[in-house]
Every structure is written in structure tokens, then in C-alpha cells.
Amino acid sequence: MYKTNVRLLILVFIGFLVISPCLVRAEDHLSFKQVPITGSLNEFCNALFKNGFEQNTQVSIPSKDKTTTAYLKGQFASDSCDLMVFATKRSRTVWKASMSLPIKDDWQTLYYKYFLLKSELKKKFGAGESNEFFIKPYTDGDLNEMFALKHKKCTYITSWKVSSGTVLLEISREGRITVSFEDALNTALKDSEEKNV
């Protein structure tokens, strides 16, 4: 009787070890607006629709991307935003959400919003790694910041690498603040699917 219970306990333990990697919880995934970046493209978008996002009908999706990309619009950090959601090609699992605020043509607004978002993201993810600089002859305060930005003479980017993924904040060449949320587990799935095509 004792040997049978020990064997049963060992079998249950081995079974747990075998299936535990398959039991991935939502907490293991990076989130966007408290929605874990996982599941199908439709499931993820439906969760965002409940948070006030809607389909962005002003964007035409190339036919090759219709099953792996969604374009939404909504609110982020008290601003209207565009959101692109990316899914893997084979399993159609969401792996990335990339948000863009409206284009601005003045440096002070971009600069202020960048550092405001950086401060908020820092509270959640820690210090991050920043690259914020101008290439000579341009400097912050010379009134040529937007020209420098558009001509790749200015970089403002901060990234956070955490166990659940990577968050990237930047001022884009177009004069937009963008924040990308890339889930670690599903990025690995995407890479695996691309290698096994």
C-alpha cells in the first residue's frame, strides 16, 4: 500500500512537471491597457473594444496582412491614439501592440509628452535604458529640433526589458510618440513559427 501511494505521488509529480510549462498564465504576459498580449487577434481586439477602442476604418489593410494585423483607435495617456496589433502568421497569436499618438510639429510638445510617458512607464517597469541625444551641429534648444528629428540627427528612445517582454518608447521621425509592447513568450512563438515555415 505504501509503495503504491509513493508511486502514485511520483507519477503525479512527474505529470505536473511535464504539463506545467503548458500552463502559461495571463500574468506571464506583458499587458497593454491591462489586457494581456496573448490569445487570438480577435480575442485581444475584443478585449480592447471593451476598454473603449474601436476599429480604425481610415486605414486600409493590405490583403496579405488582414489575418495578422489589426488597426484600432482609442485613448492612451489622455490622448487619442492609433494602435497596431500584430499576430503570428501560423497560429495567429498576438505578440505585439504598438501605439502612436497624433503627429505634432512642435518639439516642446513632443519633448514634454515623451518625458511624461517615460516617467509613467518608469513607475511600472523601472529605470529602462535611454538614448536621448542630438548629433552636431544640432542641440536641444537651438529651435532646429524638428528639422534634426526628421533628418535622423536626433534620437529619443527608452526601452524596458522585463521578464514578460519589451516596452519601447520613442519619438519617431514623423513627429509622433510611439510606445510598443512586445510580449516575450509570444515573440518567441512568432520566431519559432517563422523558422519552421
Is the residue at 24 inside a domain?
no
Is the residue at 118 inside a domain?
yes
Is the residue at 117 inside a domain?
yes
Instruction: Count structural domains, the chain.
Output: 1
Please choose, from the candidates 22, 25, 51, the residue with its C-alpha nearest in 3D space to the C-alpha of residue 38: 25
pTM of the model: 0.82
pLDDT tens track for 105-157: 999 999 999 999 999 999 999 999 999 999 999 999 999 999 999 999 999 99
Our measurement of the distance from residue 78's CA atom to the centroid of its chain's CA atoms, rounded to an integer in Å, reads 18
Rounded alpha-carbon distances, angstroms, from residue 182 to 13, 28, 105, 165, 170? 33, 13, 28, 6, 14
Is the residue at 18 inside a domain?
no
Show the domain range for 172: 29-195
Cell numbers describing residue 102: 497624433
Cell numbers describing residue 5: 501511494
Best-predicted range by mean pLDDT (26-30, 53-57, 61-65, 92-96): 92-96
Pairing of strands 35-36, 54-55: unpaired
Q: How confident is the model at residue 59 (pLDDT cuts 50, 70, 90)?
A: confident
Cell numbers describing residue 12: 503525479
pLDDT tens track for 78-98: 899 999 999 999 999 999 999
Residue type, position 175, single letter: G
Q: How confident is the model at residue 23 (pLDDT cuts 50, 70, 90)?
A: very low
Percent of the chain with pLDDT over 70: 83
